[in-house]
């Protein structure tokens, strides 16, 4: 079983409307239910200003 799942937000997790599909939500729920840590990753820089 996986211990960690890292998911790219743009182009992988989000659909063309910028939303998480029900299929992806269910996959994340299943991973967490099976004990995996789920982290979101992005190459975008987030400014604190």
Residues 3 and 38: their CA atoms lie apart, in Å, by 9
First to last CA, the chain: 40
Residues 34 and 29: their CA atoms lie apart, in Å, by 9
Catalytic, out of 1, 3, 6, 8 = 8
Q: Is 8 a catalytic residue?
A: yes
Residues with active-site annotation: 8
């Amino acid at each position: 079983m996986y211990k960690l799942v890292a998911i790219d937000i743009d182009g992988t997790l989000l659909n063309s409307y910028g939303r998480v599909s029900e299929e992806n939500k269910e996959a994340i729920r299943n991973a967490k239910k099976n004990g995996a840590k789920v982290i979101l990753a992005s190459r975008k820089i987030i400014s604190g200003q």
